[in-house]
Amino acid sequence: MNSDDMSLENRILDLHGKRILVTGASSGIGEDIARLLHELGAEPILVGRNPERLGALASELGGCQSLALDITDEAQVSQALGELPALDGLVNCAGISILDAALDIKADDFKRILQTNVVASAMIAREVGRNMVANQRRGAIVNVSSQAASAALQDHLGYCASKGAMDAMTRVLCLELGQHGIRVNSVNPTVTLTPMAEMAWSDPQKSEPMLARIPLQRFATPRDIALPVAFLLSEAAAMISGACLPIDGGYTAA
C-alpha cells in the first residue's frame, strides 16, 4: 500500500508492528480501541472477562491473541501476562462503576471499584512495564480515566475517587518508566455512547442537564476516545508523557 492509498489517520498514527495489550476489549470503548489499533497496523492482544466476545473480536481482527482474565486476580494476571512475547504498549481500559449516594455508599462497593479501576490497572501496568523493560522496548501506556477524575459527579463517590487515583498513578508511572523510554498518559472522557450508555442516557431528563454542561453540546463516541488513545501510543506523541488529556467537549473547562 502506498501513501496515496492510506487514510490520513493511517499515515499519522502508524502503529505497524506494534504489539499492544488492551484490557476491557470485550465491550465498549476497549473494543473500539482494539479495532482502531488493528486498522492502524498494530497487533492488539485482547484482555477481557467474556471469552465468547473476545474470541469473536479476535477472529474479526485476523486471529489476534486474546486472554479471558479476571484482572482483579493478581496471580492469574501475573501468570498470563508473564508468558507474553515482547510488548510495545498497553491500554488500561477495563473498569467498573457502581452508583451510590455518598450517604449510602457501601464499603464493599467502594473496595470493588478501587480493586478493578486502580489496583488491577496498576498490576497490569507493572507486568507490561516489566515486559517492556526486559525486552528493551520503548513504547507507551495509556490509562483510560474519566472526567470524573477532576469533576464531582452526583452518586459517583467511589468512581470519582478511583479515576483520581488512576491519574495520580499515571504521573508516577511516567516518572519511573521514563528512564526506560516508556511514556505514560491518561485520557479522560466524558459520557461515551457505547451501546450500553446509549440506553442509559436515552432519557432526555437525564441527558439534557449533562449536555448543557458540555460546551460542544454532545456526548463522545467510542471513536472519539480511540483516536486520541492511538495518537498517544504513536510516535506522533513522542514527547508527551504524564499528561491527563480531557476528551470531554470542554466539560471540565466550563
Domain limits of the chain?
Answer: 3-243
**Region 231-254: what's the mean pLDDT?**
97
* Active-site residue list: 159, 163
Q: How confident is the model over 244-254, as a mean pLDDT? A: 96
pLDDT of residue 46: 98
The CATH homologous superfamily to which domain 3-243 belongs is NAD(P)-binding Rossmann-like Domain (3.40.50.720)
Residue 92 burial (C-beta neighbours within 10 Å; 0-12, 13-18, 19+): buried
pLDDT value of position 1 = 45
Predicted local distance difference test score (pLDDT) of residue 5: 55
Task: Find the mean pLDDT for residues 37-58.
Answer: 96
Look at the block and give the residue holding cell 486498522.
Answer: 39
The whole-chain average pLDDT of the chain stands at 94
In the chain, % of residues over pLDDT 90: 91
Smallest Cα–Cα separation from 142: which of 127, 130, 125, 157?
125
**pLDDT for res 11:** 65
User: Which one-letter DSSP state was computed for residue 181?
Assistant: T
Residue 129 has pLDDT above 60, yes or no: yes
**117 backbone dihedrals φ, ψ, rounded to 5°:** -80, -25
pTM above 0.75, yes or no: yes
Q: Residue 12's pLDDT is what?
A: 76
Q: Is the torsion defined by CA of 239, 244, 250, 254 positive or negative?
A: negative
Residue ranges of alpha helices (H) inside the chain are 8-12, 28-39, 51-60, 74-82, 107-114, 121-134, 157-177, 195-200, 204-211, 222-233
162 — pLDDT class (breaks 50, 70, 90): very high
Cα 165–Cα 69–Cα 145 angle in degrees, nearest 5:
25
CB 134: neighbour CB atoms within 10 A?
Answer: 10
